[in-house]
Structure 1
Amino acid sequence: MTETPDWIRLQKALSVEAERGFTDLQGNQYRFHEFLCLNFGQSPPIGTSLDDRRRWQEMAVQFSRYPDLTLTQRQQLVAETRRFLQDLRQTLETPQEPPTPKLPKTAPVTHQTSQTRQITLDQPLSALVEVGYRKSDLLARLGLKTVQDLLFYYPRDHIDYARQVNIANLVAGETVTIIGTVKRCNCFTSPKNKQLSIFELLIKDHTGQIKLNRFFAGNRFTNRGWQERQKRLYAVGSLVAASGLVKQNKYGLTLENPEIEVLDSLGSNIESLKIGRVLPVYPLTEGVPADLIRKAVIEAMGAIAQLKDPLPKDIQNSYGLIKLKEAIANIHYPETPEILAHARRRLVFDEFFFLQLGFLQRRQEQKQTQKSASFNPRGELIEKFNEILPFALTGAQKRVIGEIQQDLKGTTPMNRLVQGDVGSGKTIVAVFAILAAIQSGYQAALMAPTEVLAEQHYRKLVGWFNLLHLPVELLTGSTKVSKRREIHAQLESGELPLLVGTHALIQDPVNFRNLGLVVIDEQHRFGVQQRARLLAKGQAPHVLTMTATPIPRTLALTIHGDLDVSQIDELPPGRQPIQTTALSGKERTQAYDLIRREVAQGRQAYVIFPLIEESEKLDVRAAVEEYKRLSETIFPDFQIGLLHGRMSSSEKDEALNAFRDNKTQIIVSTTVIEVGVDVPNATVMLIENAERFGLSQLHQLRGRVGRGSHKSYCLLMSSSRTPDAHQRLKVLEQSQDGFFISEMDLRFRGPGEVLGTRQTGLPDFALASLVEDQEVLNIARQAAERIMMADSSLKTMPSLKKALDEKYQRMLGADILT
């Protein structure tokens, strides 16, 4: 393995940590243990043995516990890790070419096949002997219509029956093949179920014997003639091969639902598609048998030679990728696990590469074809705003404002995502863009996902815009009809330069006279179509999207590959770290004591619940019921408020205003409090059933405290005893870094859960995993950038362009990303 910068950084990090006394050093972005967690959380280098892969993964877990270790334990872990990396490096140091995969050995086919007639890629599946017209309808349910469709229908997993062992060496949990002679065979109808036939086979080899069972349901199997044929087929003394998962039952070891085949002699070929092979497992739907796909794929293999590889050879060579034909053959029927790994890596690369190439090309085309207004990033309004700001901007805020202003000077529409941790000051950054639009004669719109967040933005903006003598209005679902009409009229006349709102902004009556800038907050909460409808209200407006839920780089590249990304990775001075503690139900009294102490000192507290009513299925405490209990039993001396999503807008406003004004000291709420609530006097956040939230959401909730000058606390109450839940909450205890937390959240929950069910536009990958294949995604992006620099139009690479047009559209469907 050639040394990579990440490899070097791992060694260097371990060395510096040892030199500085094992203090869990703080780096530019992560603490030492966080950096090691992230690196060992990624896939180990290609070529790593199974034992070393397990040890690599264990390292991630060990370093997640690093802050809790004693000095001696830290020294031992760092020393072991350095030795492990050194040994692994020596093992992999000699560069090796990937093995040249051979086409898989498939079962001999007795009927007419591709050897006697040509099979073509565009041929309908009904033309395959193994399929025919009747079965082709079954495969059509899976979207498979042609031979090429079938070849690119990848297995979701493989079962390795290729490992042959002696009976005495069987280990429960392994998938194996055994070969032995039949000692006894019996087949009979179950005395307890007349519809069930039981097949029993006792086989032996020179090391021992094993009893195998299979069960057949249905009248045809209880027929005496069928049962006698089974006995004759597996006559005593005949040689058989059997494959399956080794299971332990009350009688000893056996194979679960084994595949069995009679052999002519020891060492003779196994004819079965399953026995003694690495068996592909395909995604299925009801009514489609697995063997139909396996047999059809083997027949379709005759067309693999016709596949044209669209990937330039220099890209293949640079990144150590095998040829497409070899990858397709070995993703279905690999000869070895190593060849399967190379096949999968090539096909995963293709999925990421074509997506990234499509993103980059679309951004390039947008720059060439769409023209936006050029804004003046400096001017009187912005100078006045700088004067009235009561605090200094952070270095990160200044950097991001500079990036935005550079975009706004051009005539290409800005398409920038600003990621910033809770409290990093994204709204201020957006105001500079809004003022640049207004002083250039254009209107701006700011859309937020909830009324609470929209109103929070409106409150901030009104305070600043009044000092600048600029009007700003709020439009939500609860805005009165008369006020709506007034806002609509002012937008169409151009009197209103800035409108803040929720989904109400994308309703048809909302017409801007000259919309030049769209700001979308918490953009991941909006669907693709919702974002597109807002953009359609202007002529190629500049777009600034913001999120306080940092998206891991892999997700950002995958769903926002055509966006420019800015990160506000610095918090304003004075923000204190929030002391975070995971508690069990037994420690609830301690949580209540802390709340009581803080409120007695004039502070305030949140109590957060995941649901607003009892659910037998989820068994969570209900906010409404708990509100009554806390008010009457636990804190009868304090004023307690209630806030949840089913309250009317006026009721929510009343509850929030009472909390802001300290008329209520404790507010019991659902996650509607997650964003948009800024009460500097609140110092305690108690989150019930914390294991039911994602890490990023917990981090968001935690960000509601720690906004003032007083020390703040976040208490994560959990009833779960599972190690996974405990490990997830430990991440929150140990880190305040939203970017690190989002990476860990991705590893724990996967991309779909991290983005939320409302997010659309996540590409449809057949093989690629955003958690496991981060390294491949990064090199695919590099390769796509190389291609764009060489020939952005792809005129000199027609086969690549053709593949891009097909694959990119298929992965994204008809969706248009922001």
Structure 2
Amino acid sequence: MYSLSSPIQSVSRVAPAYQKRLLKLGIKNVRDLLYHFPFRYDDFSKIISIVDLKLNETATIQGEVTEIENIKTWKKKMTVTQAFVCDKTGMIKAVWFNQPYLIDQIKEGSRISLSGKIAFDGVLFISNPAYERLPPAADRQTMDNESRTTSDKRFAIRDLRHTGRIVPIYPETSGITSRYLRYIIQIILSSCFIEDWLPQEIKKSKNLPDLNEAIKKIHFPDSFQEISRAKRRLGFDELFSIQLVSVRQKFQWQKQRAPGIEFNQPLIKNFVDGLPFKLTDAQRTAAWEILNDISKTVPMNRLLEGDVGSGKTVVAAIAALQTAFDGKQAAFMAPTEILARQHFETIKHFFSNQDLPIAFLAGSDCQTNLPRHFGKKEIIEKIKKGEIKIIAGTQALIQKKVEFKNLALAIVDEQHRFGVAQRASLQNNISRIKDDSPKEIPHLLSMTATPIPRTLALAIYGDLDISRLNQVPKDRKEIITKIVKPAERQKSYEFIRQQIKQSRQAFVICPRIENESNKETGAQIFSDKRKTAWLETKAAEEEYKKLSKEIFPDLKIGLLHGRLKPAQKQKIMKEFSAGSIDILVSTSVIEIGIDVPNASVMMIEGADRFGLAQLHQFRGRVGRGKHQSYCLLFSQSNSKDSALRLRALLETKTGFDLAEKDLLLRGPGDFIGTRQSGLPDLSMASLTDFELVRQAKNEATAILSKDPELKKYPLLAEKLSKFKEIIHLE
């Protein structure tokens, strides 16, 4: 008997060569194999007599092989295997191409089952069919298809694996076919019992099948209804597990205590009235929700998500101002030094009329808004004494070297890039920040400029309260977006030149060069981050050479990519912001946090390789000043799907609407980058089922409310522990 933890090496008939190939699909043990779900099914369940076959239909025939031979076609240099198969009603030819070994597997006189499409070449024949020799139990029934009873047919189908039934098709890799996977999975299913961890009351109330049944039917269903039922159970399992992690984290977070920050209405009113722009209604609502949260002693854990240019930073600044004037400290943390520095400059500008000491602290640099210069050690000491009220930096701020006096508000930008496990780690680090209030933890405000579809927000960010900024300032001009055909490329270059003559600037974004070795069909590729960075850098460097030497040799071209040192990045961004660089060639590193009001053109090479949400982020890097701005999309793809997505970018202007479209067009697996998630594709598809996500969250909340430690549910507790090891949402 196998268990889910049995290594793949222990499975009989899995030779060492196949073990290595299975590793390419991420299959290390029995669980990995059983949870390697089909991505589609071929319906070969229609078993009919040869005399009843019709052109272009997909069907299964069963009969005796009367003749089989290999024929070499010298002109095309291929081998054609042809066999003649007969039943009591007639005879048909079966043809296979470049599979000469079949003559050793299919013998004259043997009984065989063939499934495939019926073609015509003077006479009807079955083209390149799936095949399998009929098992002894079915041999006695196959010749007289019309005389079989229903129970006889079911018996025959149960014995079949590749034909005469609904046949699963799996993600494959070199040397591992769906045929082989069906063979191995059937062996395991016959000798593996899977303990069902889902509580009986949930299965009953939600009408879900047992786990054993669901696993068997997802691989070898007798009907498409069984597939749907199995998918619903398996999808619910993963969603329920996600919700258990999220809800438990939320409960644990809320058990702790945070400092209450008293609302100072005159302070906030004076600040808002003094801004050079009017807050949108969405900004006012979000600010009130945050100020209300931090006034309580229950720690806030809120996500502020906003469209590009919707003004998240000023909303966070209002909360930081309230915190600082209540005698406490606030910290802005960003994923990059460029973004952290930009926060520092923006906050410094917002609070130029306030008597507030503000500091920027990162690995390679430090700065304050105070009259004289302070070194890094001095700034860290001032933070420890509470003399610096607002600090902007990278997540290094929560490391051991930095101590606060009374940190009451932690603001983390672009935290949507962290999943459940990463957020839990970040929250734990924040809760352990050293200050003079060890019994209290700071309130946590996360921000993201990537709008998240409603279903994903509920599924992946269930532990957070959410505020949405779905409005942009009314006076902001709409960015003109165009798809540029290859023949129009030269015109686009000339257009960019004209913009620069008008003292504007331009971005040019490059996708990474495709890695040919990662194109194995259906393989789940776990990309190496350093390799990805290298590929992106290489693409940007090649574009930089082309533009600076061939297209715009008379203009100042800059190059920005993730492999540059922070000081180099900062230097380039300073030059671009100051207007010293006309065109900045960049990788996706500029997706977030770049604010250059004078930039009016965003040119995106290989636009089809980016998701809609990411393209929208790129587009949002321009249009921040008073000038009309443009986004030019270049694509070499002839794919209809790519054309649909790029057309959606033209037709849809808000990030929230685009996020919903992107979810529908690409699926949640691509949307949240789950190539590194650890979740199966089937579970990813379940993330689009809002009702199933809602049910999973409700059940998780109910069960943890009555049994927080899951003492009455040991199997569920064990599953949750293992799930937290597997899951790695990005």
Question: Structure 2 length normalisation: TM-score?
Answer: 0.77
Pair 1:494 & 2:386 matched: yes
Q: Which amino acid aligns with 2:638?
A: R
Question: Residue 602 of structure 2: SS of its match in structure 1?
Answer: strand
Is the Cα–Cα contact under 8 Å of residues 73 and 80 in structure 2 kept in the other structure?
Answer: no
Q: CA deviation at 1:230?
A: 7.1
2:201 counterpart residue number: 312
Distance across 1 between alignment mates of 2:514 and 2:65: 60
2:243 counterpart residue number: 356
2:84 counterpart residue number: 202
From 688, 695, 699, the equivalent of 1:774 is 688
Question: Cα 1:532–1:594, aligned 2, differ >3 Å: closer, same or farther?
Answer: farther
1:537 counterpart residue number: 433
Question: Cα 1:316–1:590, aligned 2, differ >3 Å: closer, same or farther?
Answer: farther
Distance across 1 between alignment mates of 2:708 and 2:408: 34
Pair 1:811 & 2:723 matched: yes
Give 5+ residue unaligned stretches, structure 2.
368-373, 435-439, 518-534
Distance across 2 between alignment mates of 1:244 and 1:432: 67
Pair 1:345 & 2:216 matched: no
Distance across 2 between alignment mates of 1:787 and 1:507: 33
2:131 counterpart residue number: 258
Q: Which amino acid aligns with 1:807?
A: K
Pair 1:560 & 2:473 matched: no
What whole-Å deviation, never above 9, does each CA across 1:656-695 have from its counterpart, x for those lacking one?
Answer: 3333333444433333333222222322222222223222
From 241, 258, 282, the equivalent of 1:372 is 258
Question: Cα 1:749–1:280, aligned 2, differ >3 Å: closer, same or farther?
Answer: closer
Q: Which amino acid aligns with 1:536?
A: R
2:183 counterpart residue number: 291
Question: Residue 625 of structure 2: SS of its match in structure 1?
Answer: coil
Question: Cα 1:169–1:341, aligned 2, differ >3 Å: closer, same or farther?
Answer: farther
Distance across 2 between alignment mates of 1:362 and 1:377: 28
Q: CA deviation at 1:798?
A: 7.2
Give 5+ residue unaligned stretches, structure 1.
1-118
Q: CA deviation at 1:425?
A: 0.4
Distance across 1 between alignment mates of 2:221 and 2:641: 34
Distance across 2 between alignment mates of 1:283 and 1:632: 44
What RMSD over aligned residues (CA atoms) do the two structures have, in Å? 4.6
Question: Cα 1:122–1:256, aligned 2, differ >3 Å: closer, same or farther?
Answer: closer
Distance across 1 between alignment mates of 2:63 and 2:514: 59
Is the Cα–Cα contact under 8 Å of residues 372 and 540 in structure 1 kept in the other structure?
Answer: yes
Q: CA deviation at 1:416?
A: 0.8
Distance across 2 between alignment mates of 1:572 and 1:551: 21
Question: Residue 768 of structure 1: SS of its match in structure 2?
Answer: helix
1:214-225 equivalence runs, <5 A? none
Q: CA deviation at 1:568?
A: 0.5
Distance across 2 between alignment mates of 1:174 and 1:487: 76
Pair 1:520 & 2:412 matched: yes
1:414 counterpart residue number: 300
Q: CA deviation at 1:512?
A: 2.2
Question: Cα 1:399–1:803, aligned 2, differ >3 Å: closer, same or farther?
Answer: farther
2:520 counterpart residue number: none
Question: Cα 1:639–1:144, aligned 2, differ >3 Å: closer, same or farther?
Answer: closer
What whole-Å deviation, never above 9, does each CA across 1:668-727 have from its counterpart, x for those lacking one?
Answer: 333333322222232222222222322222111111221123322111122222222222
Question: Residue 638 of structure 2: SS of its match in structure 1?
Answer: coil
2:530 counterpart residue number: none
From 32, 44, 47, the equivalent of 1:164 is 47
Q: CA deviation at 1:346?
A: 2.8
Pair 1:277 & 2:160 matched: no
What whole-Å deviation, never above 9, does each CA across 1:631-675 have from its counterpart, x for those lacking one?
Answer: 565456655444444445444444333333334444333333332
| Identity across the alignment (%) | 37
Is the Cα–Cα contact under 8 Å of residues 329 and 407 in structure 2 kept in the other structure?
Answer: yes
Question: Residue 683 of structure 2: SS of its match in structure 1?
Answer: coil
Distance across 2 between alignment mates of 1:353 and 1:687: 39
What whole-Å deviation, never above 9, does each CA across 1:19-59 have from its counterpart, x for those lacking one?
Answer: xxxxxxxxxxxxxxxxxxxxxxxxxxxxxxxxxxxxxxxxx
What whole-Å deviation, never above 9, does each CA across 1:312-359 have from its counterpart, x for those lacking one?
Answer: 26x755x56456665455334322112221232233223323432442
Question: Residue 509 of structure 1: SS of its match in structure 2?
Answer: coil
2:597 counterpart residue number: 680
Question: Cα 1:292–1:416, aligned 2, differ >3 Å: closer, same or farther?
Answer: same
From 465, 471, 488, the equivalent of 1:570 is 471
Is the Cα–Cα contact under 8 Å of residues 364 and 566 in structure 2 kept in the other structure?
Answer: yes
Question: Cα 1:675–1:186, aligned 2, differ >3 Å: closer, same or farther?
Answer: closer
Question: Cα 1:372–1:723, aligned 2, differ >3 Å: closer, same or farther?
Answer: same
Distance across 2 between alignment mates of 1:418 and 1:130: 49
Is the Cα–Cα contact under 8 Å of residues 602 and 631 in structure 2 kept in the other structure?
Answer: yes
Q: CA deviation at 1:283?
A: 7.7
Which has the larger displacement, 430-439 or 562-571? Answer: 430-439
Distance across 2 between alignment mates of 1:639 and 1:134: 59
Distance across 2 between alignment mates of 1:432 and 1:321: 48
From 277, 293, 296, the equivalent of 1:391 is 277
Tell me the matched-pair count: 666
Distance across 2 between alignment mates of 1:806 and 1:682: 54
Q: CA deviation at 1:371?
A: 1.5
Task: Pick 1 or 2: higher relative contact order, CA cutoff 8 A, min separation 6.
Answer: 2
From 419, 430, 433, the equivalent of 2:316 is 430
1:393-792 equivalence runs, <5 A? 393-479=279-365, 483-525=375-417, 528=422, 529=425, 532-537=428-433, 539-610=440-511, 622-624=539-541, 626-627=543-544, 630-631=547-548, 634-635=551-552, 638-756=555-673, 762=677, 764-765=679-680, 767-770=682-685, 774-775=688-689, 777-782=690-695, 784-785=697-698, 788=701, 792=705
Question: Residue 774 of structure 1: SS of its match in structure 2?
Answer: coil
Is the Cα–Cα contact under 8 Å of residues 420 and 548 in structure 1 kept in the other structure?
Answer: yes
Question: Cα 1:701–1:180, aligned 2, differ >3 Å: closer, same or farther?
Answer: same
Which has the larger displacement, 349-358 or 278-287? Answer: 278-287
Distance across 2 between alignment mates of 1:650 and 1:795: 48
Is the Cα–Cα contact under 8 Å of residues 320 and 330 in structure 2 kept in the other structure?
Answer: yes
Distance across 1 between alignment mates of 2:472 and 2:4: 60
Question: Cα 1:478–1:568, aligned 2, differ >3 Å: closer, same or farther?
Answer: same
1:30-109 equivalence runs, <5 A? none
Question: Residue 159 of structure 2: SS of its match in structure 1?
Answer: coil
Question: Residue 294 of structure 2: SS of its match in structure 1?
Answer: helix
Distance across 2 between alignment mates of 1:215 and 1:615: 29
Distance across 1 between alignment mates of 2:550 and 2:600: 22
Question: Residue 769 of structure 1: SS of its match in structure 2?
Answer: helix
Is the Cα–Cα contact under 8 Å of residues 710 and 716 in structure 2 kept in the other structure?
Answer: no
Q: Which amino acid aligns with 1:310?
A: P
Distance across 1 between alignment mates of 2:547 and 2:197: 69
Q: Which amino acid aligns with 1:183?
A: T
What whole-Å deviation, never above 9, does each CA across 1:770-793 have from its counterpart, x for those lacking one?
Answer: 4x6522x43342453267468722
Q: Which amino acid aligns with 1:454?
A: A
Question: Cα 1:630–1:352, aligned 2, differ >3 Å: closer, same or farther?
Answer: closer
Question: Cα 1:130–1:243, aligned 2, differ >3 Å: closer, same or farther?
Answer: farther
What whole-Å deviation, never above 9, does each CA across 1:401-451 have from its counterpart, x for those lacking one?
Answer: 111122112222211111101110000111122223223333222111222
Q: CA deviation at 1:257?
A: 5.0
Q: CA deviation at 1:486?
A: 2.0
Distance across 1 between alignment mates of 2:294 and 2:11: 60
Question: Cα 1:480–1:247, aligned 2, differ >3 Å: closer, same or farther?
Answer: farther
What whole-Å deviation, never above 9, does each CA across 1:6-26 have from its counterpart, x for those lacking one?
Answer: xxxxxxxxxxxxxxxxxxxxx
Distance across 2 between alignment mates of 1:562 and 1:175: 48
Question: Cα 1:329–1:373, aligned 2, differ >3 Å: closer, same or farther?
Answer: same
What whole-Å deviation, never above 9, does each CA across 1:180-236 have from its counterpart, x for those lacking one?
Answer: 343325699x999xxxx9986421243541236699999xx99xxxx7x975xx43x
